[in-house]
Amino acid sequence: MAMKTYTLFFILLLANAAFANHYQFIVKETSIERLCKSKKILTVNGKFPGPTIYANKGSTLIVHVYNKSKYNITIHWHGVKQPRNPWSDGPEYITQCPIQPGSQFKQTIILSDEEGTIWWHAHNKWARATVHGAIIVYPNPGHSYPFPKPHAEIPIILGEWWKDSVVEVLKEFVGSGGQPQTSDAFLINGQPGDYYPCSKHGTFKLEIKSGKTYLLRILNAAMHEILFFAIRNHKLTIVGTDGSYTKPLTRDFIAISPGQTFDCLLKANQNPNNFYYMAARAYTNGTNVQFNNSTTTAIIKYQENNYNFNNSPISLPYLPSYYDTPSTINFSVSLRSLASKIHPISVPTKVKTRLVSTVSINLLPCPKNNTRSCQGPNGTRLSASMNNISFLTPPRYNILEAYYYNRVKGVFGADFPDFPPYVFNYTDDVLPLELELPKFGTQVKVLKYNTTVELVLQGTNLVTGLDHPMHLHGYNFYVVGWGLGNFDEKYDPKNYNLVDPPRRNNVVVPKNGWVAIRFRADNPGVWTMHCHIERHLTWGMQTVFIVKNGHKPEEHILPPPHYMPPC
Ligand SMILES: *[C@@H]1O[C@H](CO)[C@@H](O)[C@H](O)[C@H]1NC(C)=O
Ligand SMILES: *[C@@H]1O[C@H](CO)[C@@H](O)[C@H](O)[C@H]1NC(C)=O
Ligand SMILES: *[C@@H]1O[C@H](CO)[C@@H](O)[C@H](O)[C@H]1NC(C)=O
Ligand SMILES: *[C@@H]1O[C@H](CO)[C@@H](O)[C@H](O)[C@H]1NC(C)=O
Ligand SMILES: *[C@@H]1O[C@H](CO)[C@@H](O)[C@H](O)[C@H]1NC(C)=O
Ligand SMILES: *[C@@H]1O[C@H](CO)[C@@H](O)[C@H](O)[C@H]1NC(C)=O
Ligand SMILES: *[C@@H]1O[C@H](CO)[C@@H](O)[C@H](O)[C@H]1NC(C)=O
Ligand SMILES: *[C@@H]1O[C@H](CO)[C@@H](O)[C@H](O)[C@H]1NC(C)=O
Ligand SMILES: *[C@@H]1O[C@H](CO)[C@@H](O)[C@H](O)[C@H]1NC(C)=O
Ligand SMILES: *[C@@H]1O[C@H](CO)[C@@H](O)[C@H](O)[C@H]1NC(C)=O
Ligand SMILES: CC(=O)N[C@H]1CO[C@H](CO)[C@@H](O)[C@@H]1O
Ligand SMILES: [Cu+2]
């Protein structure tokens, strides 16, 4: 027995030696040339997109973040559950105070059952526009993918770019009360591509070999837009999402929301003498919502191809129209968990805690002393809410430390409602204007350890119906149901998928529709849930779950690290 343990330990050591377990993240301003000009942006290690982290399933990483910029920063490990370790989760003023200029924070990233592609990004203000990168989690040593081993793996990071500094874009946005300045480009691996001025030379190029299969690890790091993504003449076979495997799903295009990831197999099975574009552009279907309608591209070249692409015509793939809601819904509801013997799932079948929350856009009346700040519809200020509460981020402390030390009163309240405070026809075409006004507050929902939660997220047509990609920290959840219109608690649960629902950390509540998610609250901590469309988050579409400790010591939040950034 002792011998066996020893051997296992030795093998683990060897296997883990393949990847670094320690990373240094230097946050600093770096000049990057895009769209004909050079601009200083916040980066990690001078890279844009930032460095990729490689790890084995279940390993623990240490990332030492040094802030050598003049801005506050925090880093979140998106899709990492961080069992019992909210201390390194990252959202500013929720689990920590920011890492201030000149200071540092050693973060511990505890991987558990995540396998596939997840990512990291800044989680304060709008810094994540340029501070983000992929995390690739490989199967445990001795295990393989539940699909044929790909010839190579390529991160495809979709992004969004402003010519102005995002700090200024955010300031102007908050000051105006209206919509943010639309972005100037979308990006594939940091590059806008051939359809933007001065960008041809930098266009990302992927070389593939006829007959081989490639694994594209696609993530959407854009700030505001759900994106359609496709490759000319090639199909994509989705095999994973948000760090969990799916049943293979083969499609001509994908729809990917900010915050989501997809692992897709690409077969090099087309005429090698052509060049092919991969391309992405926005999807949004709301009244008076502005977005940039341009297309970002990258080029696929076969190794066997001897032509010079500078004089070869390249064609774009088909992408659905900007407003094509049915296509996005069709795609996202077609996903199924792999749910195999080796990759089992455990969907809670008995629900102890039932919650329903609306997700709404709201309007605020114009303050008399600052009418310039009212560029929302009809001279109002735009806002957003869950269960009619527009979330106020604590200004001077963070919820985790306030909760853990039980010292600081008044940082948050525990009154997030279990159900919408007012029941109405949420998705009616015309709604009374008085309903558009939200309340404000820092209200959390406290959950008992190990309770089984069903949360129905109900979109509303207040101001405008829109899709909302809702992201939960600290958990993966199962998407057991969805529908258009209003959730009907009598009939809809009968159609739930409790057999192989997709396991995700970010699900789109469809425009004027709902989704039902389930999870077991077995990770004590302070975990935010919010819309991953950045302007909606800024407007307050957010809440926080506090999951209490269980009885046993191994069901408690881990002790805090020796050093947490102070406020
Ligand atoms: C979209 O981006 C392009 C290229 O930067 C720019 O020319 C155009 O004005 C933008 N469109 C909108 C609607 O902002
Ligand atoms: C994109 O937006 C611009 C500016 O609003 C508009 O002129 C153009 O027609 C739009 N293009 C498409 C393809 O919708
Ligand atoms: C936009 O959304 C509405 C539902 O709110 C839908 O009826 C309409 O078909 C969508 N537009 C398109 C072009 O799909
Ligand atoms: C969803 O899309 C697939 C692939 O395009 C198509 O075969 C299927 O009919 C669509 N399903 C619905 C319900 O529209
Ligand atoms: C406007 O008044 C509110 C409260 O009366 C105050 O908090 C705010 O600072 C004032 N804003 C300006 C621009 O004076
Ligand atoms: C809610 O509004 C929709 C759209 O106007 C309508 O079709 C539906 O019948 C309404 N539901 C109820 C229960 O009134
Ligand atoms: C939200 O709360 C505000 C303030 O109490 C109220 O005026 C509004 O009608 C409420 N809206 C909804 C949808 O509950
Ligand atoms: C959590 O609840 C499940 C089902 O009720 C139970 O089987 C399990 O033992 C519980 N786990 C703990 C640690 O309490
Ligand atoms: C703006 O005001 C008009 C007239 O009162 C109203 O019909 C419209 O719904 C309002 N728009 C919004 C987004 O509230
Ligand atoms: C940076 O964080 C500190 C600590 O919370 C805060 O006092 C300061 O105002 C922040 N700076 C900016 C520019 O937000
Ligand atoms: C200690 C440290 O890294 N300080 C840096 C903080 O940010 C300023 C502004 O960029 C730098 O000049 C300092 O070197
Ligand atoms: Cu949203």
**Model pLDDT, residue 10:** 32
Average pLDDT of the residues of the chain: 95
Ligand 1 contacts CB of residue 182 (under 6 A)? yes
560 Cα–ligand 1 center, Å: 46
Q: pLDDT tens across 341-365, in order? A: 999 999 999 999 999 999 999 999 9
Q: What are phi and psi of 189, to 5 degrees?
A: 50, 45
Nearest CA to ligand 3 atom 14: 324
User: What is the pLDDT averaged over residues 108-130?
Assistant: 98
Q: pLDDT tens across 472-509, in order? A: 999 999 999 999 999 999 999 999 999 999 999 999 99
Confidence of residue 306 (pLDDT cuts 50, 70, 90): confident
Composition of the chain by helix, strand, coil, percent to 5: 15, 40, 50
372 Cα–ligand 7 center, Å: 25
User: What is the pLDDT averaged over residues 153-158?
Assistant: 98
**Model pLDDT, residue 371:** 86
User: What is the pLDDT averaged over residues 88-109?
Assistant: 98
Cα angle at 270 between 268 and 272, to 5 degrees? 90
Closest ligand by atom to 382 CA: 9
Atom of ligand 3 nearest to the CA of 321: 13
Q: Is 1 exposed, middle or buried (0-12, 13-18, 19+ CB in 10 A)?
A: exposed
SS3 459: strand
Confidence of residue 175 (pLDDT cuts 50, 70, 90): very high
Ligand 7 contacts CB of residue 441 (under 6 A)? no
Ligand 8 contacts CB of residue 549 (under 6 A)? no
**Model pLDDT, residue 408:** 83
**Model pLDDT, residue 4:** 31
**Model pLDDT, residue 308:** 74
Residue 95 has pLDDT above 70, yes or no: yes
Q: pLDDT tens across 534-565, in order? A: 999 999 999 999 999 999 999 999 999 999 99
**Model pLDDT, residue 311:** 66
Q: pLDDT tens across 138-152, in order? A: 999 899 999 999 999
Residue 15 has pLDDT above 60, yes or no: no
Buried b (16+ CB within 10 A) or exposed e, 98-137: bbbeebbbebebbbeebbbbbbbbbbbbbbbbbbbbbbbb
Residue 109 has pLDDT above 70, yes or no: yes
Residue 454 has pLDDT above 90, yes or no: yes
C-beta of residue 238 within 8 angstroms of C-beta of residue 194: no
User: What is the pLDDT averaged over residues 508-520?
Assistant: 98
User: What is the pLDDT averaged over residues 519-540?
Assistant: 98
Q: How far apart are CA 468 and CA 532, in angstroms?
A: 7
Q: pLDDT tens across 57-71, in order? A: 999 999 999 999 999
User: What is the pLDDT averaged over residues 369-398?
Assistant: 95
293 Cα–ligand 2 center, Å: 6
Q: What are phi and psi of 127, to 5 degrees?
A: -60, -25
User: What is the pLDDT averaged over residues 7-11?
Assistant: 32
Nearest CA to ligand 5 atom 13: 370
Which one of 346, 347, 449, 450 would you pick to mutate in the ligand 8 pocket, going by the greatest count of ligand atoms within 8 A of its CB? Answer: 450
Which one of 67, 69, 72 would you pick to mutate in the ligand 10 pocket, going by the greatest count of ligand atoms within 8 A of its CB? Answer: 72
Q: Give, in order, the Cα–Cα distances in Å from 219 to each of 89, 98, 256, 355.
A: 19, 25, 8, 29
Domains assigned to the chain: 6-138 (2.60.40.420), 152-333 (2.60.40.420), 353-555 (2.60.40.420)
Residue 2 has pLDDT above 90, yes or no: no
Q: Which residues line ligand 10 (CB under 6 A)?
A: 72, 97-98, 100, 567
CA dihedral in degrees (257, 262, 268, 270; nearest 10)?
A: -30
